């Protein structure tokens, strides 16, 4: 996973959340999906960082 993928997902979340705030209920569902994707991407990045740190320590 890359940082760019995380940033792209955040942009999608922003767009959907703005639609939700204007009353589009379907956008709320999409925003929640984006948040779940962001959580997954963040966990993958955390794992990559931890693995990299372990390799440096060897």
CB 41 within 8 A of CB 1: yes
Neighbour count for residue 27 (Cβ, 10 Å): 17
Q: What is the pLDDT of residue 1?
A: 61
Residue 24: what pLDDT? Answer: 97
Q: pLDDT tens for residues 1-58?
A: 689 999 999 999 999 999 999 999 999 999 999 999 999 999 999 999 999 999 887 7
Q: Are 16 and 30 in contact (CB under 8 A)?
A: yes
**For the chain, domain boundaries:** 3-57
């Amino acid at each position: 996973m890359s940082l760019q993928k995380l940033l792209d997902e955040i942009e999608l979340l922003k767009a959907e959340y703005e639609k939700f705030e204007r009353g589009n209920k379907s956008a709320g569902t999409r925003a929640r999906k984006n948040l779940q994707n962001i959580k997954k991407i963040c966990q993958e990045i955390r794992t990559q960082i931890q693995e990299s740190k372990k390799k440096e320590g060897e």
